[in-house]
Amino acid sequence: MNILVTGGTGYIGSHTVVELINAGHNVEILDNLFNSKIEVLDIIEELTGVKPKFHQVDLLDRPAMEKVFEGSNFDAVIHFAGLKAVGESVEQPLKYYDNNVAGTVNLLNAMQNHGVKKIVFSSSATVYGDPGVVSYTEDLPTGQNIPSPYGKTKYMIEEILKDVAFADPEFSVTLLRYFNPVGAHRSGKLGENPNGRPNNLMPIVMKVATGEIEKLSIYGNDYDTKDGTCIRDYIHVVDLAKGHLAAIDHIKNGVSIYNLGSGKGTSVLEMVAAFEKASGRPLPYVFAERRAGDLPEFFANPKKAADELGWKTELTIDDAMADTLRYLDGLSA
Ligand code: NAD
Ligand code: UFG
């Protein structure tokens, strides 16, 4: 297929582009480089032998978006582009509604104007809010008690996509609800290196390992969990990337929804221990106050993706840590 990947120079997007090209798809990337670097294109070429066509375009720039579609013949769009800093979204909600929601509406208008009717969207487990269970299935209600404007943008975009699919029976939407992506490409050449101060666990762990941040603050050690710290479903980014390949291969008219997670919960302390084991060095940390909005525990029930997409995770937390360390070595070389 000819696939436009928005956000394709970003962390999850770049890994997905590699898998798509390796599977024989023809990929073009659209990104404004707000949170990624142009050099990623060279790395994709190094890993696949193909340098994808690149459009440095902002989703909010409607005329430029139209031009991208005018010159191409896309069969489908995989839509990663968006802002994702949960804390920042609480402080600057309009920035998030504008970039993520209005940006997606622009994308959908351009798709509609050019007869492109297939989209795979990067959603998040945060759309489930606080559902009162720890193992999430796709049929749980969404939209209630979502703790941040960022999370609400994901819910709103899901609803917009459902409406578009309802209005046009030939439209195909796949909503992929990610759990916690971690790790890097096995080559150590692609990984997560966000511009600015990170807020997710693994990018912070990486900066503690390099000494850029003195210590990891573990948010809360008095939760009702096996060791008192929060439990999440960490998924290797290459497994996640392959989930997109499976989604594109199985895309069908209407709306399909899949959790992409491993089905296993891992605590923050277990993540620290796995990093220490892989690096052979202690990782300095302190226990700090709970972070507002954090749930004690949740993980995916990934059965639907296994049954319908034939996809499940293959890589482990130890793989993720080893790959992250290879990527870190490359960054400091
Ligand atoms: P990322 O920041 O590495 O990648 C996003 C890319 O989108 C960046 O390259 C950025 O420059 C680009 N972008 C942002 N706004 C844009 C705009 N207006 N126009 C054009 N490009 C724009 O993030 P990621 O971790 O790869 O996440 C990809 C998607 O997955 C996002 O939509 C994110 O919300 C979603 N997601 C991520 C996680 C996670 O923990 N990483 C979890 C659930 C969902
Ligand atoms: N954590 C720390 N210290 C830190 C950073 C994180 O202890 O410095 C802990 C958090 O409290 C949490 C765990 O590490 O228990 C994971 O935190 P992240 O910020 O990495 O991830 P979240 O689970 O909070 O959020 C992720 C994605 C969001 C998504 C959400 C729900 O980043 O995009 O999952 O799916 F919305």
271 within ligand 2 shell (Cβ under 6 A): no
Q: Cα–Cα distances in Å, from 317 out to 91, 184, 192, 194, 203?
A: 32, 11, 16, 21, 15
Helix (H) or strand (E) holding 20: helix 11-22
Active site residues: 150
Taken in order of first residue, the domains within the chain and their CATH numbers are 2-181+235-261 (3.40.50.720)
Which of 88, 225, 230 to mutate to test ligand 2, by most ligand atoms within 8 A of the CB atom? Answer: 230
123 lines ligand 2 (CB under 6 A): no
Instruction: Give the nearest ligand 2 atom to 291 CA.
Output: 11
Note down pLDDT in tens along the chain; length 333 residues. 999 999 999 999 999 999 999 999 999 999 999 999 999 999 999 999 999 999 999 999 999 999 999 989 999 999 999 999 998 999 999 999 999 999 999 999 999 999 999 999 999 999 999 999 999 999 999 999 999 999 999 999 999 999 999 999 999 999 999 999 999 999 999 999 866 788 899 999 999 999 999 999 999 999 999 999 999 999 999 999 999 999 999 999 999 999 999 999 999 999 999 999 999 999 999 999 999 999 999 999 999 999 999 999 999 999 999 999 999 998 877
What residues does ligand 1 touch, defined as CB less than 6 Å away?
A: 7, 9-13, 31-36, 58-60, 80-84, 99, 103, 122, 124, 178, 180-181, 200
- Name the nearest CA neighbour of 136 among 258, 264, 301, 297: 301
Nearest CA to 220 out of 229, 211, 212 is that of: 229
Q: Is the CB of 295 under 6 A from ligand 2?
A: no
Q: Is 294 in the pocket of ligand 2 (CB under 6 A)?
A: yes
Range 165-192 burial, b when 16+ CB lie within 10 A, else e: beeeeebbbbbbbbbbbbbbbbebbbbb
